[in-house]
Structures are given as C-alpha cells and as structure tokens.
Amino acid sequence: MEFKSEINDGVCEAVVEGELTIYHVNEFKKGLEKAIKKSSTVNLNLGGVSEIDTAGFQLLMQAQTACLEDDKEFHLVSVSRAVAEVMDIFGLEMHFGEFERVAAN
C-alpha cells in the first residue's frame, strides 16, 4: 500500500495504491490523520487500490466522520473496480456520495 498526499491552500489531494487491507490500515491511518489535520478538504483517490477489506472501509468511514465533526470536507474522487465491487455488496455507495469508477484495475 502506498499513500501519497499533497496539500495546497487547505485542500489535500491524496492517492492510495495497492492493497488497502487489515495488513496496511495502520500506515493508511497515519497518512489520513495527517491529511485531515492539515487541511480543510480531503480528496481521496482510490483508483489504484487493488484490494480492500472491511478494515479499509472502516477507516474510510472513520475519516469521513472525523472530517464532518470538524466541519471539513471529505470526498472520494475515484475508486477502482475492486473498491466499487465491495461498495456495491455492502451498499456503501450512497454513504460516500458521487465519485468516478475506474474501469479496470
């Protein structure tokens, strides 16, 4: 799992690539916490995620909640097919709002 982020004028553009599973959530959590703390808006691109499990989704939901509680914005700007499939299974698409689905992984 690789987490890259860049913050400009309070807007964090973050990209996650690779596996977003229980084995990598601590690394992902650290990156997300830093992004949320230092920005007013977090735009998260999951288009390069090859696998996600419930631990990964739990962290996404916690990050979204943390942003809402601090009057910050949290957006998924793109999700991979692997992420979209799990979202569909658990009915989470409406929870995260609109985003782009990447056609292939």
pLDDT of residue 62: 93
pLDDT of residue 64: 92
Distance CA 57, CA 53 (A): 7
pTM value is: 0.87
Distances (CA, A) of 6 to 16, 24, 68, 70: 12, 20, 21, 20
What CATH number belongs to 2-101?
A: 3.30.750.24
Domain boundaries, the chain: 2-101
Q: Which residues of the chain have a pLDDT value below 70?
A: 97-105
Rounded to a whole number of angstroms, the CA Rg of the chain reads 12
Structure tokens at 6: 């860049």
